[in-house]
Amino acid sequence: MVDAKVLVIDDNKSVLSALEILLQFEYKKITTLSNPNQISSFRNLKEQDIVLLDMNFSAGVNTGNEGLFWLREIKKKAPHTSVVMMTAYGAVDLAVKALKEGAADFVLKPWNNDKLLATVKSAYELRKSQAEVSKLKQKENHLKQVINQNSTHIIGDSKALHSVLTLVNKVAKTDVNVLVTGENGTGKELIARELHQQSARASEVFISVDMGSISESLFESELFGHLKGSFTDAKEDRAGKFEAANAGTLFLDEIGNLSLQAQAKLLSAIQNKTIVRVGSNKSISVDIRLICATNVDLEKMVAEGLFREDLLYRINTIRVEVPPLRERGDDILVLADFYLNKFITKYAKQGLRINQPAREKLNDYAWPGNVRELLHTVERAVILSEGDVLKPADFLLNTKAPVTLETGPNTLEAMEQLMIANALEQHRGNYSAAAEQLGISRQTLYNKMKKKDK
């Protein structure tokens, strides 16, 4: 016996009795109503899994309009309940109307018991499927909210920042591709998230991908997905970042680090608005808002043959240049106070403040690492603080001259970092070109830079 509730509504008491006898051995609870007007006051309508509803209740009337009216009423009050219509007057157009109004199926009187039981069973399976879909949708919406809550508010009141946010406000409502440029640590991802939050896709997911951390061999799998068995470690089917971001926003950070081969594959996906999973021949349509970011000069890379011009045109419909922190005036101190309050709470250092000489020191510094450097500087000062006041000496700023072979320590590590720095400078921050010059993989170069920044 199935643990389900069935409600039968018919003005013929003989029909009600017959259906109650037939269904009582299949379903746990059977309820009958002889008057459809009772539907309005029926308390447990939403709890019913299936409703068997007659289409004609008035004597001499066989249009089915009464049944369609009560079908609409039931669907208003209990949208997920499966309704099976019953009538002694079969007509194709009537059945089509009922299905369009939300009926699960249609049964003719007199019915065949086996066929009716099969119809009711199918209606019950539909009810379960819709309930499962509803639960999955709720979970999906919750996950989207959790993911989108990871964003941080943009802090600052400078003219330079206002200019950027004004442009963001104009562009966000459209679906055009945006290229966000600026130095490392300026907050390019925050701008991308702001574009997403102000767009029509704000309720959908924002997917961020660090292109510099994806190895060449895994590029297609990460972005486009793969089928089980398509390569050694493909133990199950997996959707890529494009599919995951469908209907939402896809943010590709460090776009300038892609190899020419990877650029060609990315361009194809953007142009065709379709992707093909690794190991498959089936095209999958994707609907995304694309935002890319870079700290390198892509026009110079195009001139040097390191970046595809057609890809640049595709991702650069609108360009948003994020100003470095040194050009944002008093935002330096506004951000310093913001991070101070954040880390006071995190590290339980209540009452801690920055004195005026220290504030002047922070404001006069050039901040080559921008907002990211300021964050780490304030966090370090809070962690190491011993009193209630942070003084200039508590803020360790990088004021030393850059390491060179002539002046720097003669160690393998220092020489390696110098070679990496020179290669990146020569190729304007392009990891792929720098790695090729150094004779190492892009992933190895990326790992060495990450280790250096720790």
Which of 98, 270, 296, 283 minimizes the C-alpha distance to 180?
A: 296
Residue 201's identity, in one-letter code, is R
The average pLDDT across 256-261 equals: 93
E-only strand ranges, 55-172: 82-87, 105-108
Cα–Cα distance, 165 to 167 (Å, whole number): 5
Whether pLDDT at 111 is above 80: yes
Q: Which strand (E) or helix (H) includes residue 97?
A: helix 92-100
Whether pLDDT at 151 is above 80: no
Beta bridge partner(s), residue 249: 206, 289
Of the candidate ranges 132-141, 241-250, 386-395, the one whose mean pLDDT is the lowest: 132-141
pLDDT band, residue 403 (cuts 50/70/90): very low
pLDDT band, residue 424 (cuts 50/70/90): confident
The average pLDDT across 227-236 equals: 87
Neighbours of 274 (CB within 10 A): 15
The average pLDDT across 339-348 equals: 94
Which of 242, 248, 337, 256 minimizes the C-alpha distance to 302?
A: 256
For residue 7, with 0-12 CB atoms within 10 Å meaning exposed, 13-18 middle and 19 or more buried, which class applies? buried
| 435 compared with 329, residue with greater pLDDT | 329
Q: What percent of the chain has pLDDT over 70?
A: 90
pLDDT band, residue 411 (cuts 50/70/90): low
pLDDT tens-digit readout, 4-44: 899 999 988 999 999 999 999 899 899 999 988 888 888 88
pLDDT tens-digit readout, 166-185: 999 999 999 999 999 999 99
pLDDT at position 450: 67
| 430 compared with 323, residue with greater pLDDT | 323
- Helical segments of 273-329, H only: 298-303, 309-315
Of the candidate ranges 291-300, 319-328, 355-364, 438-447, the one whose mean pLDDT is the lowest: 438-447
2-134 in CATH: which number?
3.40.50.2300
pLDDT band, residue 400 (cuts 50/70/90): low
Domain with CATH 1.10.8.60 in the chain: 325-394
pLDDT at position 438: 78
Work out whether the CA dihedral 300, 306, 308, 314 comes out positive or negative: negative
Cα–Cα distance, 152 to 147 (Å, whole number): 12
The average pLDDT across 259-263 equals: 94
412-453: what fold? Arc Repressor Mutant, subunit A (1.10.10)
Secondary structure (3-state) at 429: coil
pLDDT at position 217: 85
Secondary structure (3-state) at 400: coil
pLDDT at position 401: 44
Whether pLDDT at 406 is above 60: no
| 59 compared with 120, residue with greater pLDDT | 120
pLDDT band, residue 407 (cuts 50/70/90): very low
CA dihedral 186, 192, 195, 200 (to 10 degrees): -170
Domain with CATH 1.10.10 in the chain: 412-453
Round the CA-based radius of gyration of the chain to a whole number and report it: 32
Contact 55, 86 (CB under 8 A): yes
CATH class name, domain 159-321: alpha beta
Domain with CATH 3.40.50.2300 in the chain: 2-134
pLDDT band, residue 150 (cuts 50/70/90): low
Beta bridge partner(s), residue 18: none
The average pLDDT across 106-110 equals: 87
| 411 compared with 284, residue with greater pLDDT | 284
Contact 276, 236 (CB under 8 A): no
pLDDT tens-digit readout, 64-102: 888 899 999 999 988 889 999 988 776 677 878 888 888
Domain with CATH 3.40.50.300 in the chain: 159-321
Beta bridge partner(s), residue 52: 8, 84
Please check whether the domain covering 325-394 is classified as CATH 1.10.8.60: yes
Average pLDDT score, the chain: 87
